[in-house]
Amino acid sequence: MLATVLFGSLAGFLAFGVPVIFAVGAAALLTVVLFIPTMPLIIMPMSMFNGMDSFPMMAIPFFILAGELMNSGGISLRLVNFAKTLVGHIQGGLGHTNVVANAIMAAISGSALANIAAVGRVLIPAMEKENYNKEVAASITICASLLGPIIPPSITMVIFAVTASQSVGALFLAGVVPGVLIAAGMMGVIYFLSKRRGYGVVRPFSKGAVLHEAKKSGFALFMPVVILGGIFSGIMTPTEAAAVAVLYALLIGFFVYRELNVKDLWKILLRTGMTTSFIMLIIGAARIFSDVMLSEAIPQAVAAAMLSITESPYLLLLLINVLLLLIGCVMDTTAAIIILVPVLMPVVQIIGIDPVLFGVLMSINLVIGMATPPIGVTLFLGAEVAGTRVERIIPPVFAFLCVHVAVLLLISYVPSVALWLPRALGY
Query: 71-90, pLDDT tens digit by residue?
Result: 777 787 888 888 888 888 88
In this prediction, residues 299-328 reach a mean pLDDT of 83
Crossing angle for the helix pair 377-386 and 390-413, nearest 10 degrees?
140
| Widest distance between CA atoms in the chain | 73
Residues 191-209: tens digit of each pLDDT: 998 888 877 667 778 888 8
Asked if residue 29 is part of any domain, the answer here is no
The lowest-confidence range among 97-101, 140-144, 328-332 is 328-332
Greater confidence (385 vs 375) lies with 385
Q: With respect to residue 328, please indicate whether it lies within any of the assigned structural domains.
A: yes
Q: Is 40 exposed, middle or buried (0-12, 13-18, 19+ CB in 10 A)?
A: exposed
Q: Is the pLDDT of residue 219 over 90?
A: no
| 292 closest CA partner among 36, 42, 14, 20 | 36
Residue spans of beta strands (DSSP E) within 239-280: none
pTM: 0.84
Q: How confident is the model at residue 127 (pLDDT cuts 50, 70, 90)?
A: confident
Read off the pLDDT of residues 35-71 as tens digits, 9 standing for 90 and up.
777 777 777 788 777 777 777 777 788 888 887 888 7
SS3 405: helix
Task: Answer yes or no: is 11 within a domain.
Answer: no
Question: Does the pLDDT of residue 374 top 70, yes or no?
Answer: no
The average pLDDT across 227-252 equals: 85
Q: Considering the domain boundaries, does residue 374 fall inside one?
A: yes
How does the average pLDDT of the chain come out, rounded?
85
**Domain range holding 204?**
42-424
Nearest alpha-carbon partner for 361 in 404, 306, 314, 304: 404
46 is a domain residue: yes
CB 170 within 8 A of CB 427: yes
Report yes or no on 420 lying in a domain: yes
Taking 80 as the threshold, does the pLDDT of residue 401 lie above it?
A: yes
pLDDT at 176: 94
Find the range with the poorest average confidence among 33-47, 149-163, 363-377: 33-47
Residues 248-300: tens digit of each pLDDT = 889 888 888 888 888 888 888 888 888 788 778 877 877 787 777 777 777 77
Phi-psi map region of 234: left, alpha, beta (phi>0 left; psi -120 to 50 alpha)? left
Q: What type of residue is 369? A: G
**List of residues 6+ apart from 29 with CB closer than 8 A:** 41, 44, 288
Whether residue 379 is predicted with pLDDT greater than 70 in this model: the reply is yes
Please state the domain count of the chain.
1
Instruction: Name which of 40-44, 317-321, 380-384, 399-403 the model is least confident about.
Output: 40-44
Report the candidate in 216, 213, 227 with the shortest Cα–Cα distance to residue 151. 227
User: Would you call 388 helix, strand, or coil by DSSP?
Assistant: coil
Is the bond into 422 cis (omega within 30 degrees of 0)?
no
pLDDT score of 1 more than 70:
no
